[in-house]
Amino acid sequence: MNKDAISSMQRLLCDRPVSVAWSGGKDSSVVLNLTMQAAKAVLESGQTIAAPILVTHGDTGIENPEIRAYASTEIGRLRRYAERHRIPLAVHVATPNLTESWPLRVIGGRALPSFPGMNHDCTTDLKIHPMQRLRKRLQNPKTAASLVTIIGTRFEESPQRAARMLEREETADKPWLGDDNQWYLSPIAYWTMEEVWEYLGQCRDGNPDVLTFSRFEEVFRIYADAAGSSCAVVGDMATKGQAKPCGARTGCAVCTPIGRDKSLEAMIEADPRYHYLLGLNQLQRFLLNTRWDFTRRNWMGRSVDAEGYITIAPDVYSPDMLRDLLRYVLTIDAVEAETARAEGHAPRFQWIDPKILLAIDAQWSLYGYHPAFEALRIFHDVHDLGRRYPVPDVDAWPQQPMPRKQRLYVGTPWEDQQDLQGYRDIQQEIAVGSDSPCMGTRRLANGHVVMDVESSVAFDFDDEGVADFFGLEYDAILEDLQDGRDFGCCGSYLYYSRMGMLSVAPQAIATIDKIMRRTQWLYAKGWNGQRQVEFLPHRSIRPEKDGMTGPLPLHESFLEHHLDTGQKQQELVA
């Protein structure tokens, strides 16, 4: 069967540009190896490959470190093999941008993790969008319409997969057109699981008829250990048909859509070499076990409706929960760094690097979750002072229905209130003799005056600026914090913007101005930060869509101190 696949791929390589989508799993590894076999055969026959082979791979930034290390090693082998045999090839790794990254999504307070039964926004941010951007950047406009991506889908994987493949009319011997108007080829569409492992086994045994860039020993090891088995094939067959979103073996270390990550637990239990993954596995369980604990959520809506109300309901994590998560992940990073030093090797992962730390700090400041530079204070606590915050072992919170949405009267939307400054540093503008440069201002289409900040394709921090900050400004900021200096509402976001370290997309400036006005409004009312959890749910509220009189309880811990609706609501926010 592999001869038929190679034959069809040889014809394809001679006629059209080809891309291989390689995840590192068994199926995509077979497809990549088949492609290299076909490319070598084309060149040995005296023919020419139509265009350099593009190999694309996705790194979510929170991969299981074992998979990340394996993928990096295989990419190195692949490049060396192509160079040795003069196969035109380019390998590209797609990564999320700063806003899409898991730490900024979850710890930054932009979104909850994806849980079982929810939509998988994390897949879109961490995998789909980065790969789409990469493909768009790599495609030659002259040949983009004819590019064929070789994928490892198989009919035998599951009835659901087979149904989707039939609907797409996937074929193994000729390119097929997908719903996205892109061309694909599925060379192992009719292979069984046994045939996949048999082929990889031939590579492992050094069969010269199939061996190319890798023997794939690590694929066998990872599949076996993830299944808690001594044999990769037996382990894979035992879990056949049980695949969940993303796949735990080659997925994110804290993948929550899959539920409990039994494969990572099996790896940790199977071999002491995986014990360094224990902290990440504990974090994954903690996120799952606290899913239904609404006391760990923010409750305040982010927009005012036409009647002057905002929605009160569980939303993203609360400021206290965000602080805890940053402490946990920084501690996990610190423990790994300590272990690496003791064992004499480089750290196998680091989830919170300096740029991500500043981005989290900026986002906390923008939304008013914490005072300015709170993330830096936590970093100093863990990194410099050596304090450790291990992930707690908590019982799973029982599943419960989402509380009914309710509303709180606030009056005029904050974007229409003239006494709010928005994305503007008034104090800096009027400062005389300040050491910090003033960025200047610009006027938006809605008439608001905002800081004339650096622009980029998306929210980002300048690498050189980050390095300069930690070399020149970090200690001074910490001293100011210890002295009790109040940097004001949105203080660190404005600081990073003013210093030119932070850049945003031009079309996002109006949105940031609106968010800042909301944060400033909350700040003035004393409803910023954790007070949104401790204070707001006790305030006067009314059901969103019913004719009942009086408020409804939001949660068992918020049953006290309700006021009447109507006039008292208006008095409260006056």
pLDDT digits (tens, 9 = 90+) for 109-153: 999 999 988 777 788 889 889 988 988 888 777 777 889 999 999
Average pLDDT score over residue span 95-117:
94
Same domain, 238 and 297: no
> 495 in a domain, yes or no?
yes
142 C-beta neighbours (distance < 10 Å), count: 8
> 365 in a domain, yes or no?
yes
The least confident of 228-232, 297-301, 367-371, 448-452 is 228-232
> 563 in a domain, yes or no?
yes
Average pLDDT score over residue span 203-208:
95
Q: Are the CB atoms for 233 and 246 separated by under 8 Å?
A: no
Confidence band of 234 (pLDDT split at 50, 70, 90): very low
- Which among 244, 266, 281 is the end of a domain? 244
The pLDDT assigned to 478 comes to 97
Residue 565 has pLDDT above 50, yes or no: no
Same domain, 294 and 226: no
Residue 101: domain span:
2-244
- What's phi and psi for 56, nearest 5 deg? -110, 145
CA proximity to 201, closest of 173, 234, 169 = 234
Same domain, 337 and 210: no
Please enumerate, as own/partner, the contacts of 205-210 that have beta carbons within 8 Å and a separation of 24 or more. 210/2, 210/33, 210/37
Q: Which amino acid is at 460?
A: D
Residue with tokens 């055969």: 41
Same domain, 212 and 294: no
Same domain, 58 and 157: yes
- Which among 214, 244, 274 is the end of a domain? 244
Confidence band of 240 (pLDDT split at 50, 70, 90): low
DSSP code for 104: I
- Rounded-to-10 torsion of CA 50, 78, 196, 254: -120
The pLDDT assigned to 525 comes to 81
Confidence band of 517 (pLDDT split at 50, 70, 90): very high
Tokens, residue 33:
């190896």
Quick one: which H or E segment has residue 82?
helix 65-84
DSSP code for 275: G
81: Cβ–Cβ under 8 A, 6 or more apart, which residues?
Answer: 36, 87, 212, 213
Give the domain CATH number at 184: 3.40.50.620
107 C-beta neighbours (distance < 10 Å), count: 29
Residue 233 has pLDDT above 60, yes or no: no
| β-pair partners for 443 | 449
> 269 in a domain, yes or no?
no
Same domain, 315 and 194: no
Confidence band of 438 (pLDDT split at 50, 70, 90): low
Same domain, 407 and 331: yes
pLDDT in tens, 448-482: 999 999 999 999 999 999 999 999 999 999 999 99
pTM over 0.85: yes
Give dist(CA 433, CA 449) in Å, integer: 23
pLDDT in tens, 241-256: 444 444 444 578 998 9
Residue with tokens 């070399």: 471
Same domain, 209 and 69: yes
Tally the residues of the chain: 574
- What's phi and psi for 538, nearest 5 deg? -85, -10
Confidence band of 555 (pLDDT split at 50, 70, 90): very low
Average pLDDT score over residue span 430-452:
75
The pLDDT assigned to 570 comes to 39
546 C-beta neighbours (distance < 10 Å), count: 9
Tokens, residue 526:
């004393």
Same domain, 239 and 310: no
Give dist(CA 483, CA 499) in Å, integer: 22
Give dist(CA 257, CA 123) in Å, integer: 10
Residue 239 has pLDDT above 60, yes or no: no
Same domain, 300 and 446: yes
Give dist(CA 137, CA 418) in Å, integer: 43
362 exposed, middle or buried (CB, 10 Å; 0-12, 13-18, 19+)? buried
The least confident of 90-94, 309-313, 345-349, 467-471 is 309-313
> 272 in a domain, yes or no?
no
> 282 in a domain, yes or no?
no
Mean of the per-residue pLDDT values of the chain:
86
Q: Are the CB atoms for 118 and 51 separated by under 8 Å?
A: no
Q: Which amino acid is at 341?
A: R
Cα angle 565, 570, 572; round to 5: 90
184: left (phi over 0), alpha (psi -120 to 50) or beta: beta
The pLDDT assigned to 432 comes to 46
The pLDDT assigned to 490 comes to 95
Give dist(CA 299, CA 537) in Å, integer: 7
276: left (phi over 0), alpha (psi -120 to 50) or beta: alpha
The pLDDT assigned to 33 comes to 96
CA proximity to 250, closest of 234, 237, 264 = 264
Cα angle 338, 371, 280; round to 5: 30
The pLDDT assigned to 238 comes to 43
> 175 in a domain, yes or no?
yes
Q: Give the dihedral sign, CA 28/33/34/39.
A: positive
Q: Which amino acid is at 58?
A: G
Average pLDDT score over residue span 445-449:
91
The pLDDT assigned to 572 comes to 38
The pLDDT assigned to 136 comes to 84
Tokens, residue 195:
């045939």
pLDDT in tens, 16-74: 999 999 999 999 999 999 999 999 999 999 999 999 999 999 999 999 999 999 999 99
CA end-to-end span of the chain: 76
Residue 293 has pLDDT above 80, yes or no: yes
Q: Percent of the chain beyond pLDDT 90?
A: 62
The pLDDT assigned to 437 comes to 53
Same domain, 238 and 298: no
240 C-beta neighbours (distance < 10 Å), count: 12
Residue 562 has pLDDT above 60, yes or no: no
How many domains does one find in the chain?
Answer: 2
> 64 in a domain, yes or no?
yes
- Which among 225, 244, 263 is the end of a domain? 244
pLDDT in tens, 542-552: 444 443 333 33
Same domain, 198 and 301: no
pLDDT in tens, 304-343: 888 888 888 889 999 999 999 999 999 999 999 999 999 9
- What's phi and psi for 441, nearest 5 deg? -130, 165
